[in-house]
């Protein structure tokens, strides 16, 4: 892969400096030495040299040529002596570094690997700030664009349709995106609303009936999840007013542990959070159920919540969510002992139970046969273990070093195929999003083209 890299060097010396310690020749020599250390070959027309130009201006012939070349996408890496050869002012350095990075060019500074001096740290921070600003600008523009579209009743912004509807895209719908009712699914939606609104069934019972009637979910699963049915009953789209802005991204709170099968470090720092219904923007769509039935169902749901005896949720047990099942990998949750199970006696303990052992969560078939365990006993056992650790700090130090060693050995083990594939998928998703923003008119052509070119090149390089 290294031979395929298209590289260049850039050198600059101002007229006053020529007399001093660093001449243009010594700079070029250092750059060429580094290129050969990296086992790369430099083509003759890839030496960009501004001899006798001040770093205070960006109008330098070789720099212009370098930027032109980078903009065409014909460059992968440029070697430069130090950031101040690029420009004297930080703002210009940031501008150039940002421009080159956006064109997919990697910059290698010889004498000052980024992050070794206070100056470089500052540069890095400023770069970060600018990148942050750019991202914020695009996101804000996109957010405001979508909000505006939602206000004017465009279904575009909803980008997907709930069960019961089919989403007709802008090109397929002759310039206007819309929801189209899928009659077989709509019939099931009406039935679910009637079961709850008229027959006052619980959501659990709705799920069981759907399963008994052999009615699959949209993704073809036989078992309906309670949360899915609950979300359907709350979705105002079915009465003809699809809601835009039901969720919002915000920084994630600290996690107890990684999700099952997930990575230790989440890829995104943000999660989705619910927005109060008063802030939603309504987009008119064809209704599937009448308004009176929809309202009745909302009243029924409110009543169910009041009646539910297990209304107290959240962290009531010390280890819930922290203990993970060794057999199936799901977390344990705390479950109180019902009066009936305790034969009328009140218990002052509860049970930790593996999520995988609840049949109802997996369509009537439990995944895990691990037994539940009394909260008081497990809490006690874990606390004893913690006490022992606290008495013997050397044990923690040894374990810490062992893990550090492990991590270093893994790091030295060459490129990880899975990681490469993840990276590739990430790039493709990024491209998809970028194309979406462009086709939806969120960003203009001048912004779109260099970014998409950079994406394409990065995908090719993988």
Catalytically annotated residues = 14
**Residue choice 65, 127, 142, 370 for contact with Zn ion (CB under 5 A):** 370
Contact between 259 and Zn ion by CB under 5 A: the answer reads no
Residue 328 is a binding residue for Zn ion (CB under 5 A): yes
Please state whether beta strands 77-80 and 47-51 pair in parallel, antiparallel, or not at all (unpaired): unpaired
Q: How many residues bind Zn ion (CB under 5 A)?
A: 7
Contact segment (CB under 5 A) with Zn ion among 84-92, 119-127, 178-186, 367-375 equals 367-375
Q: Which member of 97, 109, 356, 443 binds Zn ion (CB under 5 A)? A: 356
State which residue, 371 or 412, has the beta carbon closest to Zn ion: 371
Applying CB under 5 A, does 368 fall inside the site for Zn ion? yes
Q: How far is the CB of 326 from Zn ion (least distance, A)?
A: 8
Is 123 one of the binding residues for Zn ion (CB under 5 A)?
A: no
Comparing CB distances to Zn ion, the nearer of 158 and 368 is 368
CB 351 within 8 A of CB 361: no
Closest CB to Zn ion among 164 and 356?
A: 356
Is residue 9 at the binding interface for Zn ion, with CB under 5 A as the rule?
no
> Considering the complex, what minimum distance in angstroms separates the CB of residue 360 from Zn ion?
15
Residue from 91, 222, 327, 339 in contact with Zn ion (CB under 5 A): 327
Closest CB 367 distance from Zn ion, rounded Å: 7
Among 75, 232, 354, 434, interactor with Zn ion by CB under 5 A: 354
Instruction: Report the site for Zn ion in 387-446 (rule: CB under 5 A).
Output: none
Q: Segment contacting Zn ion (CB under 5 A): 233-241, 293-301, 346-354, 428-436?
A: 346-354
Nearer to Zn ion by C-beta: 154 or 375? 375
Closest distance to Zn ion from the beta carbon of 324 (Å): 9
Of 149 and 367, CB closest to Zn ion? 367
Minimum Å distance from CB 369 to Zn ion? 8
Is 325 one of the binding residues for Zn ion (CB under 5 A)? Answer: yes
Pick the closer one to Zn ion by CB: 350 or 355.
355
Does 331 participate in binding Zn ion (rule CB under 5 A)? no
Taking contact as CB under 5 A, which single stretch among the options 9-17, 26-34, 186-194, 370-378 is the one that binds Zn ion?
Answer: 370-378
| Secondary structure, 3-state, the chain | CHHHCCEEEEEEECHHHHCCCCCHHHHHHHHHHHHHHCCCCCCHHHEEEEECCCCCCCCCHHHHHHHHHHHCCCCCEEEECCHHHHCCCHHHHHHHHHHHHHCCCEEEECCCCCCCCHHHHHHHHHHHHHHHHHHHHHHHHHHHHHHHHHHCCCHHHHCCCCCCEEEECCCCCCCCCEEEECHHHHHHHHHHHHHHHCCCCCHHHHHHHHHHCCCCCCCCCCCCCHHHHHHHHHCHHHHCEEEECCEEEEECCCCCCCCCCCCCCCCCCEEEEECCHHHCEEEECCCCCCHHHHHHHHHHHHHHHHHCCCCCCCCCCCCCCCCECCCCCCEEEEEECCCCCCCCCCCCCEEEEEHHHCHHHHCCCCCCCCCCEEHHHHHHHHHHHHHHHHHCHHHHHHHHHHHHHHHHHHHCCCCCHHHHHHHHHHHHHHHHHHHHHHHCCCCCHHHHHHHHHHHHHHHHHC
Binding of Zn ion at residue 333 (CB under 5 A)?
Answer: no
- Pick between residue 66 and residue 367 the one whose CB is nearest to Zn ion: 367
What residue ranges bind Zn ion (CB under 5 A)? Answer: 325, 327-328, 354, 356, 368, 370
């Amino acid at each position: 892969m290294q031979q395929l890299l298209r590289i260049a060097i850039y050198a600059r010396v101002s007229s006053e400096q020529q007399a001093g310690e660093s001449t243009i020749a010594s700079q070029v020599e250092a750059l060429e030495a580094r290129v050969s250390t990296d086992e790369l070959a430099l083509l003759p027309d890839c030496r960009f040299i501004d001899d006798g130009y001040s770093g205070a201006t960006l109008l330098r012939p070789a720099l212009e040529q370098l930027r032109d070349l980078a903009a065409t996408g014909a460059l992968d890496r440029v070697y430069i002596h130090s950031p101040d050869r690029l420009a004297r002012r930080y703002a210009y350095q940031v501008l150039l570094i940002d421009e080159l990075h956006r064109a997919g060019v990697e910059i290698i500074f010889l004498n000052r690997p980024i992050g070794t001096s206070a100056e470089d740290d500052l540069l890095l921070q400023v770069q970060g700030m600018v990148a942050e600003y750019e991202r914020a600008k695009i996101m804000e523009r996109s957010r405001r664009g979508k909000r505006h579209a939602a206000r004017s009743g465009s279904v575009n912004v909803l980008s997907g349709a709930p069960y019961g509807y089919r989403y007709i895209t802008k090109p397929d719908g002759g310039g206007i995106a819309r929801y189209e009712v899928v009659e077989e699914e709509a019939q099931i939606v009406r039935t679910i609303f009637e079961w709850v609104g008229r027959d006052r069934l619980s959501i659990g019972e709705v799920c069981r009936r759907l399963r008994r009637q052999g009615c699959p979910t949209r993704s073809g699963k036989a078992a309906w999840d309670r949360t899915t049915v609950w979300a359907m009953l709350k979705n105002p789209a079915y009465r003809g007013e699809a809601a835009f802005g039901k969720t919002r991204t915000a920084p994630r709170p600290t996690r107890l542990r990684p999700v099952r099968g997930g990575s230790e470090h989440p890829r995104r720092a943000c999660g989705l959070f619910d927005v109060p219904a008063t802030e939603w923007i309504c987009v008119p769509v064809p209704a599937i159920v009448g308004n009176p039935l929809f309202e009745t169902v909302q009243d029924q749901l409110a009543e169910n919540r009041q009646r539910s005896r297990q209304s107290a949720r959240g962290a009531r047990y010390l280890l819930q969510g922290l203990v993970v099942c060794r057999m199936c990998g799901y977390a344990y949750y705390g479950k109180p002992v019902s009066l009936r199970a305790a034969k009328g006696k009140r218990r002052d303990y509860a049970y930790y139970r593996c999520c995988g052992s609840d049949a109802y969560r997996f369509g009537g078939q439990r995944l895990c046969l691990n037994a539940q365990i009394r909260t008081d006993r497990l809490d006690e056992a874990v606390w004893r273990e913690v006490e022992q650790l606290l008495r013997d700090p050397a044990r923690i130090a040894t374990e810490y070093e062992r893990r550090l060693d492990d991590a270093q050995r893994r790091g030295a083990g060459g490129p990880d195929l899975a990681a490469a594939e993840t990276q590739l998928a990430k790039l493709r998703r990024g491209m998809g999003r970028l194309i979406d923003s462009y086709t939806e008119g969120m960003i203009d052509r001048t912004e779109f083209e260099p970014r998409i070119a950079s994406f394409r090149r990065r995908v090719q390089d993988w």
